[in-house]
Amino acid sequence: MTIPEQYDERAARKVFVRNRQKLVFSIAVAVLTVAMVVALLVFYGVIGKQDRVEEAKPNFGVAAPCLPDGFDGKRIDPAQITIRTSNATKYTGLARAVQDELVNRGYTPQDKSVFDYYRLVNPQAEVKSENVIVLSRTTIYFGANAIPEAYTLGSLFTDATLQMDDRQDKLIDVVIGTSFYNLKSKSDASISDDAPLANITGCLPAASMQNLPKALGHTAV
């Protein structure tokens, strides 16, 4: 008759602890290896290179219209600029905060309310938590008849892209994206009343810009 070996609990515990230590060490080495590879990719510009290139381009790489011929460069009175503000982030209240500050600086809101960007794009749809359009870049939409107004408004932002669409009126849509941090300070010399507007580098004559995006639905002003 075979006599079963006696179970050594202490030895088994040692084996278990040793195996667990090996597993933890292996996971730690794998994590550190991945972190090192990612760090090297970022350092050499493989990761994030496109974002940095776009940020370095005038108007963040989006074609912008030039100011009208003969325009004197004088900034437009904010009271003459009508805006509509919408939120393209998951941060509730951000668009309201921006619109309130723009109103504080003299801009005219078309509506006291602010909007969810998803609702503007899909006016018949119900806005739910899963129905959120998130834009990485704050965008100012305007038409060919409000170019100086868009330049004036856009100069308050450090992160906004000016995007001309096919609207024919002067309403300007301010769509807040995740890139937004804050407006320029009122004391910033670049937005003072006597700071002239200048063409965005590489701008195109408005009349030459074709295949413009369709404007978001709105009441014309």
pLDDT value of position 1: 52
For the chain, give the mean pLDDT: 86
What band does 198 get if pLDDT is binned at 50, 70 and 90?
Answer: very high
* pLDDT at 67 > cutoff 90: yes
Q: What is the DSSP string of 4-60?
A: PPPP-HHHHHHHHHHHHHHHHHHHHHHHHHHHHHHHHHHHTTSSSHHHHHHHHSGGG
Is-contact 162 150, C-beta < 8 A?
yes
Is-contact 215 171, C-beta < 8 A?
no
Write out the H or E segment, with its range, that includes residue 156. Answer: none
Give the tokens for residue 168. Answer: 């024919």
What band does 39 get if pLDDT is binned at 50, 70 and 90?
Answer: low
Q: Residue 73 — φ and ψ, nearest 5°?
A: 85, -5
Q: What span, in angstroms and rounded, lies between the C-alpha atoms of 114 and 103? A: 12
* pLDDT at 128 > cutoff 50: yes
Q: Which of 9-23, 46-60, 148-162, 163-177 has the lowest mean pLDDT?
A: 46-60
Q: Specify the length of the chain in residues.
A: 221
What band does 131 get if pLDDT is binned at 50, 70 and 90?
Answer: confident
pLDDT value of position 65: 98
pLDDT value of position 50: 44
pLDDT value of position 32: 64
Give the tokens for residue 136. Answer: 């990485």
* H helix intervals, the chain: 9-43, 49-56, 94-104, 117-121, 147-154
pLDDT value of position 48: 47
For 32-45, what is the mean pLDDT?
A: 56
In DSSP terms, which residues pair with 86 in a beta bridge? Answer: 115, 175
What band does 49 get if pLDDT is binned at 50, 70 and 90?
Answer: very low
